[in-house]
Amino acid sequence: MIDNQLAELLYLAFILSTTILLIYTTLSILKLKKPEEESEVTPITLLRCSSCGYEKTRRFKEGDYVGLVDQGTMCPRCGKPMVVHAIYVEGESELISMTLFKKRRRKK
């Protein structure tokens, strides 16, 4: 009888520790994932010359938006100011310019 109870207790302890381990593992995975999502991404701004189509990229600057005429960046071919054509994060094919702006505004 005592042996049976001991076995039951051991079984229960085993189940309990497995559950705790599982919860702990899940939590640590979630904790590991979070900073990755919130980590500072460096968006790239793609500039295109409206007259000759020359394209160049640079790091995203605060205030950049698609359609902005960047008076500070001149086209090396024809000397005209370049227009922000796209804003994206390296490694991601999808353009997320709108999402980025919403996020940045929310932070303030």
List 21, 78, 99, 103, residue binding Zn ion (CB under 5 A): 78
Is residue 54 within the footprint of Zn ion (CB under 5 A)? Answer: yes
Torsion-angle region of 91 (φ positive above 0: left; ψ -120 to 50: alpha; else: beta): left
Contact between 69 and Zn ion per CB under 5 A = no
Per CB under 5 A, does 49 bind Zn ion?
yes
* Whole-number Å distance between alpha carbons of 53 and 87: 17
Please, which residue, 9 or 78, has the CB nearer to Zn ion? 78
- Least Å from the CB of residue 74 to Zn ion: 8
Radius of gyration of the chain, Cα coordinates, nearest whole angstrom: 27
